[in-house]
Structure 1
């Protein structure tokens, strides 16, 4: 049996059984190596030899996590939340319910998008901003599934399309892993390749607005809002945080390095005193710990990829796939997208999916005669598929954490199912159309 299929199959089964994905990747790599004719020593050597390939991404994640938490401690999120709530509640007290709804939608969408690039705090803003809004949402009878759709769009679309913050990391992973699989591409090509898929997500968001436009009744249940909103925020810290964010982006864009960008931002917070020296070690350590899991997954995935390549079974798999698809590009692309969906649904991380699928998909796509842009689109879409809809994804866990504080929002039926329908399905359709377009 082909070692690549065995390794991926073992990894997938273990992941779907909720076994830790790092452990799943390690076990899958070992089983795949042994199946491919490597002895245990050679398998371990190949695995450990490949771990270094994920070090850059892991360090990027760690520093970004530290920088994000440091920014959150300066009071920037709290000030934004207070300002937003003041405006929304003021409009909510009037009879202009339509305007109040529109403001809530725009505010949440803007916050979600900024959380991925401009103010890269990821899902940390949701527990701050959503619970205090629930009473007003109940009064306006807003269907919380629509709020989920808005948040998920803002959490996913930016990193797949905008090369900044988390988007820079995701696109760097695509380029790096495609290079390891034998196809060199540039960072500048990724947004071009993903534009049509991003449009598909926009179509899905419009569909969610239509599907969940009707009023939905919720009971008013008192919830305890975050006490961070009551803390005093110093103006000087806000100014220095803004400077740190601008400097981080200014350095990150020309260098294409999240490591340097985050490091510059952290240093500015240190020097200006916006990040207190006595608290800095704890804050940065907590931030790095917050992102450590994905970093370890990336490192393990590179070891997994190295073992797959060492078995020499990638080429036979490609030839077998070509025989199976009989040169039918459309069917091959659709099958690979579905495989990407399954992998990401099981793991819960688009970032961790790319190294797993790139080693297999790139050779097949090259053999099928796909252009570089088409292959980038295929890998990028197959990776992002499943982020929406996965019960283990931050993009679903975050919205549920904010909307279910009063016990009236179900994680599976009110978060995972709606996001699967309105984002995964359009992503498959538009991703397939995009690959065919770029042929």
Structure 2
């Protein structure tokens, strides 16, 4: 048995069986090591050594979570909610004839896109923005499956294409793990390789909004307990501080090429603001500590999965069976690069659906795909397209992914949105299928 196949299959089966992903990764790594003839001690040592591969990326995630939660207390998210409600109207108010569901959905997709790069708060904005708008959606008779699709698009497409915020983490992960597997690439090559797969996601979004879910759908108007309905958190100093923190974060990140330093800079500005509030007696230092802790907790799951994935990938590489798998696959596929490309993309789909995180999948895919792609004659750009697309595949459509859990958390605030059938299935259909098609096209053209 090939150790790589054994490790990946056990990891996928355990993950899909609702065994915690970190445990599934550890179990898969141990099974792969034993299959390759390693002792348990040797396998654990290699797994442990590999854990440090993604530690900086995981720390970046945790700090971004803290930044996102802290940003909520500046009043900026509350202001965004009020602006959104003003644009689409409140229940009972007159509505412009030109206001349509399509505008609302693309507006939501735009706001979600900002959460990945421009204002890197990830899914933290959804519980703030979406519940207050549910009655507006009901009044427009919008199909919430279209809203879920718009949100998931914004949570995925920007970080796949744009190297800022969470996009910087994703691109750095691709670059570093490809280098660890023997292929050095420039960071500027990654957007060049991934714009075609992202174009496929745009096509999926347009189809979902204009075709699949364009029909009216009725929901009950139910009262929702909303937070931050008052304006007490919306102040000019708070908004100015939030904008300064965001701009500083982006500038510091670009200048130092370090997401960690960028987030720490942004957090410093926010915490100076909190210290001023503390002096005024309107904010306690205990609240500041709680913000940091809660923010890290929010994204700690992904961080731990990414760390464990680094250990898994290290064991996979050290088994020596990647080379034999590559040789066997090359012999089976021959010179059929088209078949090889679709096979690798499907592998990525199953792995990512099992793990629920494209960030955590990249180290595993790079360890397998880089030598395979090189042996089949794929260019570096095509290899990036395969790894990036395969990593993104399954993130939309996975029941355990932030890209689906986040939208459901907001849209089900009144208990009328099913996670599997109203978020997971629609996003799987409208994003995974286009990603497969356009990812394959990118691998063949680049």
SS of 2:99's equivalent in the other structure is: helix
- How much does 1:181 deviate? 0.9
Note closer, same or farther for the CA distance 1:91–1:407 as it changes in structure 2 (3 Å cut): closer
Q: Partner of 2:89: helix, strand, or coil?
A: helix
Q: How many angstroms does 1:114 deviate by?
A: 0.8
What is the rounded CA distance, in whole Å, between the counterparts of 1:112 and 1:141 in structure 2? Answer: 21
Does the 8 Å CA contact 1:72/1:121 hold for their aligned counterparts?
Answer: no
Equivalent in the alignment of 2:14 = 14
1:308 and 2:309 correspond: no
- Displacement of 1:222 in angstroms is 2.2
CA RMSD of aligned residues (A): 1.7
Flag the 1:367–1:220 CA change in 2: closer, same or farther, 3 A. Answer: same
Q: Deviations over 1:309-329 (max 9, x none)?
A: 221111111101111112211
Q: Spell out, residue by residue over 1:8-52, the C-alpha distance to the aligned partner (whole angstroms, 9 max, x if none).
A: 111111111111111111111111111101112211111111111
Contact 2:89–2:95 (CA<8 Å) still a contact in 1? no
Name 2:148's counterpart in structure 1.
148
- Give the Cα–Cα distance (whole angstroms) in 2 for the partners of residues 335 and 43 of structure 1: 28
Q: Does 1:429 align with 2:430?
A: no
SS in 2 for 1:184: coil
Q: Tell me, in whole angstroms, the C-alpha distance in 2 between the residues paired with 1:263 and 1:232.
A: 23
Deviation, structure 1 residue 368: 0.5
Displacement of 1:100 in angstroms is: 4.7
Aligned counterparts, 1:220-239, within 5 A: 220-227=221-228, 231-239=232-240
User: Which residue is equivalent to 1:165?
Assistant: 165
Structure 1 residue 406: deviation in Å?
A: 2.1
Instruction: Work out whether 1:399 is the aligned partner of 2:399.
Output: no
Q: How far is the alpha carbon of 1:162 from its aligned partner? A: 0.8
Match of 2:420 in 1: 412
Kindly tell me: are residues 312 and 283 of structure 1, through their superposed partners in 2, closer, same or farther at Cα, counting changes over 3 Å? same
Q: CA deviation at 1:124?
A: 1.4
CA 1:229 to 1:293, structure 2 compared with 1: closer, same or farther past 3 Å? Answer: farther
Measured in 2, the distance between the counterparts of 1:95 and 1:299 equals 50
Alignment of 1:36-75 (within 5 A): 36-75=36-75
Counterpart of 1:197?
197
Matched with 2:292 is 284
Separation in 2, partners of 1:59, 1:170: 13
Do the aligned partners of residues 292 and 341 (structure 1) sit closer, same or farther apart at CA in structure 2, a change above 3 Å counting? same
Contact 1:3 1:308 in 2 (8 A): yes
Give me the whole-angstrom Cα distance separating, in 2, the residues matched to 1:190 and 1:86. Answer: 38
Match of 2:352 in 1: 344
CA distance in 1, matches of 2:92, 2:208: 23
Matches within 5 A, 1:75-114: 75-89=75-89, 93-114=93-114
Please state how far the C-alpha of 1:293 moved relative to its aligned partner. Answer: 1.4
Deviates more, 1:376-385 or 1:32-41: 32-41
Q: Which residue of 1 aligns with 2:244?
A: 243
Deviates more, 1:248-257 or 1:111-120: 248-257
Post-superposition Cα deviations, 1:55-102, rounded to whole Å, max 9, x if no partner, equal 111111121111111111212101111122123216973353541534
Q: Deviations over 1:130-149 (max 9, x none)?
A: 11111121111111111111
Report the Cα offset of residue 105 of structure 1.
2.2
Report what 2:206 is aligned to.
206
**2:282 matched to which residue of 1?**
none
Task: Please say if 1:389 is aligned against 2:390.
Answer: no
Whole-Å separation in 2 of the counterparts to 1:113 and 1:229: 26
Offset of 1:272 from its aligned partner? 3.6
Matched residue of 1:99: which SS? coil
Q: Find runs of 4+ consecutive structure 1 residues off by over 6 angstroms.
A: none
CA distance in 2 between partners of 1:147 and 1:396 (Å): 12
Q: Distance in 2 between matches of 1:201 and 1:271?
A: 40
Provide TM-score, normalisation by structure 2. Answer: 0.94
Say whether 1:327 aligns with 2:335.
yes
Instruction: Quote the Cα distance in structure 2 between the aligned partners of 1:84 and 1:66.
Output: 25
- Alignment correspondent of 1:33: 33
Deviates more, 1:200-209 or 1:401-410: 401-410
1:368 and 2:376 aligned: yes
Aligned length: 438
Point out where structure 2 has 5 or more consecutive residues left out of the alignment.
279-284
> Alpha-carbon deviation of 1:230?
5.3
> What 5-or-longer segments of structure 1 have no aligned partner?
none
3-state SS of paired residue (1:168)? helix
1:146-185 per-residue CA deviation (whole Å, 9 max, x = no partner) reads 1111111111100100111111111111111111111111
Instruction: Please give the secondary structure, in 2, of the residue aligned with 1:167.
Output: helix
Q: Give the secondary-structure state (helix, strand or coil) at the position aligned to 1:117.
A: coil
1:262 — aligned with what? 263
Counterpart of 1:357?
Answer: 365
The structural deviation recorded for 1:207 is 0.6
Q: Secondary structure at the match of 1:273?
A: helix
Offset at 1:6? 0.9
